[in-house]
Amino acid sequence: MRNGSLALGDYPGDVVHISCKRCGRSGSYRLDGLIARFGADDALPDVPLELASCERRADFSRPCGARFTDLAR
Ligand SMILES: [Zn+2]
């Protein structure tokens, strides 16, 4: 069981949009391509950080802010 978080296979749409407010990066990816790469069960919160080649990715004190723009509230 997943602990309440969405998985990649649950993403609402065919194209995944990701952006990072901290470094200004953004990108879009086809959902089927991401599922082929990560698997439909990969937890959604993990995906932006794996995709974003952000300089803050390994900075644990100020981590990368990459997130799904479609899911932002
Ligand atoms: Zn970033």
Q: Which pLDDT belongs to residue 1?
A: 47
Nearest to 16 by CA among 34, 42, 39: 34
Q: Ligand 1 center to residue 69 CA distance, Å?
A: 13
Alpha-helical (H) ranges within 1-73 are 31-38, 47-51
Residues 16 and 52 sit within 8 Å (Cβ to Cβ): no
Return the pLDDT at 53. Answer: 65
Question: 62 Cβ partners below 8 Å, 6+ apart?
Answer: 22, 56
Determine the distance separating the centroid of ligand 1 and the alpha carbon of 40, expressed in angstroms. Answer: 24
Q: Where along the chain do its domains lie? A: 8-71
- Reported as a single tens digit per residue, the pLDDT across 25-57 is 888 999 999 999 999 998 887 777 777 667 666
- What separation in Å is there between the alpha carbon of 22 and the centre of ligand 1? 5
Average pLDDT for 59-72: 77
48 Cα–ligand 1 center, Å: 9
Judge if pTM exceeds 0.85: no
Q: Find the distance separating the first CA and the last CA of the chain, reported in whole Å.
A: 25
